[in-house]
Chain A
């Protein structure tokens, strides 16, 4: 099956029904292995055992940004190509992105208290990440405010494209401003500065989180397609009765 064929919602539903159980199983297996490796990881020479919080914080931060990136592509799909699944994907992704961004902020605060002596500082990285969470909540609110899905999709697409400005700000905030948050240490020119005993469990957790995200996204998209079918049937029923 070609990717373009999945543009048909019925074909997408059939593919999702097949893929979700396999992806769910793979998620459980990768999570089990990643958590096992994370438990075996040694304490950091500076952070001590609190480095284990990074195994949750970093993947959730990546997914929060990745999700908005996907929503940005979906926004282009809605506005430019009018792809039938683009706004379905965007609507399904928003709560997932909000949840992972919230988890990033919560775990970051719980790491910051013992390491920095405070749960929160208004530095550029933390503030831009908080703005991302507020953008997610704005998108979710917009979907709920406008009843007609196609009108809501266009409004959300514009907000998503504007909000994408926050992604490079988050990424480069630690370079552009003097922040308490540390600089890039995984993906950087010259290679990672993290020891493999900590880097490998971190990447495994990132893989597990990504699999979880893909599984949940497909499931949420399936739900959204069914919700639109319910809406269409109710509208047709009402118009037939009238």
Chain B
């Protein structure tokens, strides 16, 4: 039967679809956490847009 003969191609295609979607979601999620963490570290060091502006004014 055709369905049995080609099932490996269907499974491989859906596997590729899942892999691409999971990779994209992981990319945006991990990148978001990374940027938030770096911004938080800069804030902890007292570096923010406001503090940099104020120090430039002094």
Q: At the interface, yes or no: A189 with Cβ under 8 Å from chain B?
A: no
Cα–Cα, bound, A46→B16 (Å): 24
* B21/A107 in contact, CB under 8 A: no
Within 8 A of A (CB), among B1-21: 2-3, 5-7, 9-10, 12-14, 16-17, 20-21
Give 5 A-B pairs besides A229-B49, A233-B49, A237-B42 with Cβ atoms closer than 8 angstroms: A50-B9, A113-B9, A114-B5, A223-B31, A236-B56
Q: A78-86, A95-103, A133-141, A167-175: which lies at the B interface? A: A95-103
Instruction: Identify A222's interface contact among B5, B21, B25, B32, CB under 8 A.
Output: B32
Cα–Cα, bound, A57→B16 (Å): 11
Cα–Cα, bound, A212→B32 (Å): 17
Contacts of A56 in B (CB 8 A): 13-14, 16-17
Main SS of chain B's interface residues? helix
Q: At the interface, yes or no: B44 with Cβ under 8 Å from chain A?
A: no
Contacts of B52 in A (CB 8 A): 233, 236-237, 240
Interface size class for chain A?
A: 35 or more
Instruction: Identify B2's interface contact among A43, A99, A230, A232, CB under 8 A.
Output: A43
Instruction: Identify B28's interface contact among A111, A220, A237, CB under 8 A.
Output: A220
Cα–Cα, bound, A95→B20 (Å): 11
Interface size class for chain B?
A: 20 to 34
Q: At the interface, yes or no: A106 with Cβ under 8 Å from chain B?
A: yes
Instruction: Identify A237's interface contact among B5, B9, B39, B47, CB under 8 A.
Output: B47
Contacts of A223 in B (CB 8 A): 28, 31-32, 35
The proximity string for B residues 18-58 relative to A, scoring 1 for CB distances below 8 Å and 0 otherwise, is: 00110111011101100110110010000111001001100
Interface residues, chain A, with chain B CB atoms under 8 Å away: 43, 48-50, 52-53, 56-57, 60, 95-96, 99-100, 102-103, 106-107, 110-111, 113-114, 212, 216, 219-220, 222-223, 226-227, 229-230, 232-234, 236-237, 240
Main SS of chain A's interface residues? helix
Most chain B CB within 10 A, of A43, A52, A57, A102, is at A52
Q: Given that A222-B32, A229-B39, A233-B42 are contacting pairs, would A114 and B6 also be in contact in the complex, using a CB cutoff of 8 Å?
A: yes
List 13 A–B pairs whose Cβ atoms lie within 8 Å, in order of A's numbering.
Answer: A49-B6, A53-B13, A56-B13, A57-B13, A60-B17, A113-B9, A216-B24, A220-B28, A222-B32, A229-B35, A229-B49, A236-B56, A237-B42
